[in-house]
Chains A and B, each alone.
Chain A
Amino acid sequence: MSKTAFPPAIKSRPVYGVLEPRPGAVHLVVADGEGAGAVTDMLAKAADRAGMLAAMHIIYTPGPNGTDQTAMLAALGAKQCYRAPTIPTLLPRLTRVLSDAHMGTQFYLAGTEGLIGQAERDIMATGFPHHDIQKEHRGSTVRRVQCVHCKGITENVATDPFVCSHCGLSLFVRDHYSRRIAAFQGVNIDAEDPGQVPPPVVRFT
C-alpha cells in the first residue's frame, strides 16, 4: 500500500507528502497502522540506513482498523522501538521524548490523520513549525472531528452525518481543519430544520 490519494479540498485541510530520509542527529518516528509501510519505504531510500536506524526512535500504535505492523518495525533494529496500545497512550511518551528533542531532530509522522494531527500538534507546541514536520498519510481515512457546539471530540468518524459522542447532536463533517485542535469541524446538520437528519453515508473508511 502506498500514500493515500485525497481529492482536492479547501486550504485548511492538511496535505500529506512522502517521507524522505533527511540528515539529522535524531530521527523521531511516530506512526500508526499502515504508516509502518511508509517508514520502511523511507528507510529503503536512505543512503546510510544503518546510521539512520542507530539514531531512530520509533513510537507506534495499531491503526483504527486494527492493522498492527509492530513486528515489521521491531525487526528494523532501530535504537528504540515502542508499541503503544492506543493513540492516547502514545502521546504522553511523545511529550516526554519531545522535552529532550534538540535542534537537528527530524520528525517523521505516518499513518492516519488522527495520529498525524495529534503528534503534529504536540510537536508544534514545542515551537517547531508544522511545515518542517514530514507527514505521510497511509491507511484508514476515518476522521477526528470536533463538535463546534459542545467542543467534544469524536474519534474515528466514518459516516457523514454522525452523532456527536458527547452531546448527541447530528453533525455534518466539514473539511475545515484546526491544527491546534488536530480535528475537523462538525456542525449540526438539522439546526435549521430540527429532526430532518439525512441518512448517514460512509465517507471515510
Chain B
Amino acid sequence: MSLDFNLGAFNDYFRNETFRDDFTYANSPAGIRRFPFPFDRDDYMYSVNMEPHVPGRKGSVFEHAFDVDEHYVSEMIDRAKVLASDPLRCQSLPHMTLAGWDLLELIMEAKARDYPQWFTLTKDGNRWHWINRPLGIDHHFTFLDDSTLPYGPFEYITRQTQGDFTLQDERDNDLWMDAGMVTSQADWSLDFDIGMSFMEWHAPVPLAHEKGIFDRALKFLLKLQHGAPVRRFNWTMTVNPLLDTAPETYPVWGPTKTSLTPENLGQKQHLRVELQALFRLPRSNAIAFSIRCYLGRFEELVTIPKWGRRLHRVIRDINPDVAAYKGFLRNRDAMVAWLAGYDDGAPTSPGFWPED
C-alpha cells in the first residue's frame, strides 16, 4: 500500500502551481477576497486573541473546521517533496500514536461532512473506507490498527491536509509538543523543538512572556474541552510564496530577503498568515494544533483598499523587536515605502473583513 497521489479529478478548481523554483503560486480573485487578513485594527501587538473555532461566514476560511481551498492539491504535492528531501519534518514520539488516530478521525469526519463532493468516509465498525478524490486516494483500513495504513495515522492524514500540525501531550499541568508535521513553518524547527514544554518551545518569542501572554494561554489551553475548539491568528512576512521557510534550509532561502527592489516588492513580498486552531482529542486527551498558512502577495492584498491602508499602518508602526523576531526588519522600510502608495489616510472600519 502506498500514498501515491493519483491526480486528475477537479483540475478546474484546484490550481496547478508551485511554491518553489518558478513560484507560480497565486490567489484567484475569489481567493483574494477570502484571504484571512489578520489585522482587525490599524496596529498590532501580541495578544492571546483566541476565539471559539465555530463555523464562520459562508465562503470564508472560517466556514469549516479544516478549510480546503484552491491550493489544496499543489500544497500536498509540495509537502510530499519536502518530506522526500527531509523526513525529519514529520516526527511522532512513540506514545503519540493514539493521538494520531484521534486526529485522523477528526479530520476525516470533518472533511467528509463539509466537502462531500471531494471526501467520503464510510465506517463498518472499525473497518473504514476513505476516499480522497482530489488526490486520487481510495483506501480501506482498520481504525486503530497501524499495520493497515502506509504511514502512521498522524503522517497519513497530515499528508492529505493543508497546514502544519503538532500534537501536544498533557502531563504535569503542562503541554508537551510530542509530534509534528511541519513543512510550511515560519522558521522553526520541529526536530529541535519536539519534546519541549509549552514555555520551552515559545521561549524565543520576544515581549510576550513579559506580558504574561504565555501564562494565560497555557492556563486557557489546559481547560480546552473536546468538541469546543478554539482559533487565533499569527502572521509574518515571506519573500516569494515559499511555504517551507524552515531553519534547516535557511541558507537556501535566506538570501532571497535581499532580492527585493521597489519594482518587484509588490510581486515578491507576501503576507504570511497562520490560522491556528486547537482541538482537544477524545481518546488520548492530547491537543491537536493546526497551523494553516495562507500566503497573500502584496499586489493582491492592496486590491482591497481597506487592507492596503491598514497593512501600511501596521507595518509602519510595528515594534522593531517584533519585526526582528518575525525576520523582516531589514525590509520593513522598503515595505512601508511601497505600501504608502496605497494609503490615502482615510479611516478604516473596525474588523478584518474586506468591506464592512
Residues of A within 8 A of B (CB): 10-13, 129, 146, 148-149, 151, 169, 174-181, 185, 187-188, 191-194
Contacts and interface: CB of A to CB of B under 8 A. Distances in A.
Interface stretch (B44-52, B136-144, B200-208): B200-208
A181 B248 CA distance: 16
A11 B195 contact: no
A169 B189 contact: no
B255 A191 contact: yes
Interface string B190-214: 0111111001111110000100000
Given A11-B202, A192-B257, A181 B251 contact: no
Given A11-B200, A176-B204, 7 more contacts: A174-B204, A176-B203, A178-B193, A185-B189, A193-B255, A193-B258, A194-B251
Please report whether the interface of chain A is mostly helix, strand, loop or mixed according to DSSP.
Answer: loop
Given A11-B200, A12-B200, A176-B204, A188 B254 contact: yes
B116 to A, nearest CB: 42
A25 B309 CA distance: 68
Nearest to A121: B195
Contacts of A129: 172
B226 interface: no
B250 interface: yes
Nearest to B214: A11
A179 B254 CA distance: 27
B109 to A, nearest CB: 33
Contacts of B354: none
B204 A191 contact: no
Contact of A10 (B191, B192, B194, B204): B204
A185 B251 contact: no
Interface of B: 88, 172, 189, 191-196, 199-204, 209, 247-251, 254-255, 257-258, 330
A191 B254 contact: yes
Given A11-B200, A12-B196, A192 B258 contact: yes
Contact of A149 (B201, B204, B248): B248
A11 B203 contact: yes
Contacts of B192: 146, 148, 176, 178, 181, 185
A144 B258 CA distance: 31
B234 to A, nearest CB: 18
B255 A13 contact: no
B197 to A, nearest CB: 9
Contacts of A13: 203
Nearest to A151: B191
A65 B251 CA distance: 33
Nearest to A150: B248
Given A191-B251, A192-B254, A148 B203 contact: no
Contacts of B254: 188, 191-192
Contacts of B200: 11-12, 177, 179
29 contacts: A10-B209, A11-B200, A11-B202, A12-B201, A12-B204, A13-B203, A129-B172, A148-B189, A148-B191, A148-B192, A149-B248, A151-B88, A176-B192, A176-B204, A177-B200, A178-B196, A179-B196, A179-B200, A180-B196, A181-B192, A187-B247, A187-B250, A188-B254, A191-B250, A191-B254, A192-B254, A192-B257, A192-B330, A193-B258
A151 B249 CA distance: 12
A185 B192 CA distance: 8
A169 B191 contact: no
A74 B257 CA distance: 57
Nearest to A147: B248
Nearest to B203: A12
Looking at A129, A149, A175, which has the most chain B CB atoms within 10 Å of its CB?
A149
A177 B200 CA distance: 8
Q: Which 6 pairs, one residue from A and one from B, show the smallest C-beta to C-beta distance?
A: A191-B254, A12-B203, A180-B195, A10-B203, A12-B200, A11-B203
A188 B251 contact: yes
B167 to A, nearest CB: 15
Contacts of B330: 192
